[in-house]
A = this chain, B = another copy of it.
Amino acid sequence: MAVKTYDFQMTTKGFADIIDVTERVSRLVGESGLSDGLATVFVPGSTAGVTTVEFESGLVKDLKEAFERLAPTGVTYAHDARWGDGNGFSHVRSSLLKTSLTIPFKNSNLMLGTWQQIVIVDFDNRSRRRRVIVQVMGE
């Protein structure tokens, strides 16, 4: 049993920018040399999130619209009144989707479905440089 902690960086566009990171997470599981265990994908910060989706342009659009219904940009946020950065909706979306996801792997392969990709969603209201943590634990 061992734990390996990795990270990678990426530039996002914000406004529910949805980025497929499956390939990067998968490569790090391979790099760990571990066969069976858990890969945890975690975004430090409070305006992003992580989940899975069938990554195709239709669903990317649908998911953005769902986030707009979940925490609309057009309502008043107390955060904005206090801090003036106008990204109250980004914070609320991040808290609802959450910043962590654990995926089992076996024989060094993530146990995802064929049409299931891991995505980081950047909810912020501007382009960001993001660090993503991938912690691989297993044997």
Contact = CB atoms under 8 A, between A and B. Distances in A.
Interface of A: 1-3, 5, 36-38, 40, 42, 44-46, 51-54, 56-59, 61-63, 65-66, 70-71, 75, 77-83, 88, 91-92, 94-104, 106, 111-113, 115-116, 133, 135, 137-139
Nearest to A50: B98
A52 B138 CA distance: 25
Contact of A1 (B1, B88, B96): B1
Given A38-B135, A53-B91, 20 more contacts: A1-B1, A3-B36, A5-B111, A42-B102, A42-B111, A45-B116, A46-B53, A46-B113, A46-B116, A54-B91, A58-B78, A58-B81, A59-B88, A62-B77, A65-B75, A66-B70, A66-B92, A70-B96, A104-B133, A137-B138
